[in-house]
Structure 1
């Protein structure tokens, strides 16, 4: 080969061979991208970092403690390596159903439905819905001997608000189609020796509407 031609081609060949190369310790992206250091044990592969378990990002700098420690929350979400449980559940992995937060019996201390009189002393009971962990069943929520709506709402369904001590009684007709009930409630368990329940609900019976407020205390 003509020495002059060889001298012209040699730099071009060297440039082509080095184009997109990967150096040890650093990731050099194709087409002259900047070097990327793979941190936290990551390795360079074809110009990109392969990160170890629990790490992500261009340089493996983002740490996910939930993935790193294999934290799987049964009834909750993992945040920073710890489980935040849904209402009604507790434990390290939110695996244990908690009676204190929602489930159990409450004795009614006051219950007033405008324009009716207050009634107190009876019990209501909250149970977990066996088919849907996000719902609860409230037994004997309402009952007045002289009230135009006869008898009890024997099984009112409510939807638990995630990561809170509140629930919503969605509109329903648990006894028959002539009356409906809806509302919301909250459990105050800040004092474990005096757990309180508060429920505000509305009953519609034909053209009549009754607005009710109930307060009760956890007994078992």
Structure 2
């Protein structure tokens, strides 16, 4: 069995909607990944105008041994009356890498999430064998699904879902006071800043 490079082994690519409605789920997913000892890989945290977005995403997936794909946004956009294809596209890239890519990348493992159980059967039935999980638009349930997925790929004993949820609640409770000296509001944080604050908080809680 080939040993994965340590830095790639702990990286998790996150493929999810970037909008205000989904933000609580995205935040919970990121927090669960960090609390379980893994590192978030996300296109939203990289500021490089010189790199094509698709090339950036391909690099991030290849640099991660695990990925989480949320398909909650397959419904029609009320403004354009078109579905959003970004998440299914990125899932397709990850599946292609796993089954058709270079041999060293075929160890890639995926978690597929959706807002409702079995909804994928109507929109993307070909992924039935991937066994998608549902979070029901509930951050606590998203933490459960992410934690259980990561537990299958970690050599460490991970905290339980309730412990992660309690720590996540505490993080959100203390965040405003932590930001106050910097005259900054939570909604003003960039994705990269928020992840760094999560990492610092989790490290402090474990100390």
Q: TM-score, normalised by structure 1?
A: 0.23
Structure whose alpha-carbon radius of gyration is higher = 1
Q: Greater strand percent: which structure?
A: 1
Q: Which has the higher contact order (CA 8 A, sep 6+)?
A: 2
Q: TM-score, normalised by structure 2?
A: 0.23
